[in-house]
C-alpha cells in the first residue's frame, strides 16, 4: 500500500511517506501541499492529514485537496482530521454542557492560563498556531466535494472501515484524548 501523510510535523507514522513543509527529522520529507505534488496520478491508496488543513487558507486547501485526489487511486481514501469550528463556536452559546466546561478547563490547564472564557478560547483557536481557515463539517464536506471527491463520510477519531486509517491520529499526545475528541472532527473522502 502507498500511503501519504502530510503535515507530519514531528509525528511520523510508520509505513507512511511522511511529509511536511518543515523538516523535523530523517523520517520526514519536504512537501509543500499548496503546490503540485511530485507524485504520479492514481498511485496512492491512502492520504492523511491531522490538524494541518486549517493552517492554509481555503483556496490553498482546495488546491491541496485536488492534488490529493489526483494522486489517489480510484477508491483511494483521504482522511482529514481538523478542528471543528461549529463545535468550538458552540462554546459561546450558554449554558455550557459538562463536556464543554471540561474542555475549557483542560484548555486552560494545558496552556497555563489563569482563566479562560469561551470567547478567549475561540479567539486562541482561531488565531494561534498559524491557523488560516477553520472548517465546519459542512464546509469541509463541501470543499472536498468541490475538489472532486465522490463521497465524504464522517468518522470518529481513531476509527475507520479501513485498517490502514485506524488509530493514525497523534494530536491526543499533545492535548489528551478527551480534549482531542471534543475539538477534532474527522472525515474520509473517497475518490
> Which residue ranges in the chain fall short of pLDDT 70?
none
Say what the pLDDT of residue 41 is.
98
Do the bridges between strand 184-190 and strand 151-155 make them parallel or antiparallel, or are there none, so unpaired?
antiparallel
> Which residue blocks in 83-136 are alpha helix, DSSP H?
85-89, 98-110, 118-127
C-alpha 21/C-alpha 137 separation (Å) is 26
pTM of the model: 0.96
Cis peptide before 95 (omega within 30 of 0): yes
Local structure of residue 96 (DSSP, 8 states)? P
Q: What's the pLDDT at 40?
A: 97
The pLDDT of residue 44 is 98
Tell me the C-alpha distance between 20 and 87, whole Å: 27
Domains and CATH numbers, the chain: 3-83+131-190 (3.40.50.150)
Q: What is the pLDDT of residue 24?
A: 86
pLDDT of residue 45: 98
Amino acid at each position: 500500500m502507498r500511503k501519504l501523510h502530510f503535515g507530519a510535523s514531528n509525528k511520523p507514522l510508520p509505513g507512511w511517506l511522511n511529509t511536511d513543509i518543515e523538516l523535523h527529522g530523517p523520517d520526514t520529507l519536504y512537501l509543500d501541499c499548496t503546490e503540485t505534488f511530485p507524485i504520479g496520478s492514481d498511485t496512492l491508496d491512502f492520504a492523511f492529514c491531522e490538524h494541518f488543513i486549517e493552517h492554509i487558507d481555503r483556496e490553498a486547501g482546495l488546491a491541496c485537496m485536488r492534488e490529493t485526489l489526483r494522486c489517489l487511486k480510484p477508491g483511494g481514501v483521504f482522511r482529514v482530521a481538523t478542528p471543528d469550528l461549529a463545535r468550538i463556536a458552540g462554546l459561546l452559546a450558554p449554558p455550557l454542557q459538562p463536556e464543554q466546561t471540561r474542555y475549557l478547563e483542560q484548555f486552560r490547564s494545558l496552556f497555563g492560563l489563569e482563566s479562560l472564557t469561551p470567547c478567549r478560547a475561540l479567539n486562541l483557536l482561531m488565531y494561534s498556531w498559524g491557523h488560516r481557515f477553520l472548517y465546519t463539517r459542512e464546509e469541509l464536506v463541501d470543499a472536498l466535494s468541490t475538489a472532486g471527491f465522490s463521497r465524504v463520510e464522517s468518522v470518529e477519531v481513531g476509527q475507520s472501515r479501513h485498517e490502514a486509517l485506524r488509530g493514525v491520529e497523534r494530536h491526543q499526545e499533545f492535548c489528551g484524548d478527551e480534549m482531542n475528541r471534543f475539538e477534532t472532527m474527522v472525515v474520509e473522502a473517497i475518490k
